[in-house]
Amino acid sequence: MYPAFDALFDQRKCITYYCSTGQRLLAAPRDKSVNDTSRVNYLKGYIGGLLDALRNGSNTKGYFTWCFLDSFELLDGYTSNFGLYYVDLINDPDLKRYPKLSARWYSNFLKGGDLRTDEISLFSQ
């Protein structure tokens, strides 16, 4: 991922913000949806590349993942999940939110955790 960031920064040294980066997963029941290890790996790769670019002089000021909650997507409706939190949009009238593995990993990273941390559990608080 880093060479792509590097090429962008070599051409223009402007301030950069990355937003709406995320991974589309097909909608699944909660027991399968919350264990989104592929999204954790995606975040690790993307953020790792961005950190490499920062160390080499990029002028990046912000990074925002897409998206906080599973929601209705314009092109996919309810058939795709982009969120860090699972929401049962079909069967739960209270729309209770459940943190996915990616939410726990991202929270740990933002609190100063190591990018390579693999010890995040679905059940850790």
Residues 34-83 pLDDT 10s: 898 989 999 999 999 889 888 888 888 999 888 888 887 788 887 888 88
In this model, does residue 95 exceed pLDDT 70? yes
- The dihedral through the CA atoms of 3, 6, 10, 16 has a sign that is positive
Question: What pLDDT, on a 0 to 100 scale, did the predictor assign at position 18?
Answer: 85
| Assessment of whether the complete model's pTM goes beyond 0.85 | no
- The dihedral through the CA atoms of 99, 74, 63, 9 has a sign that is positive
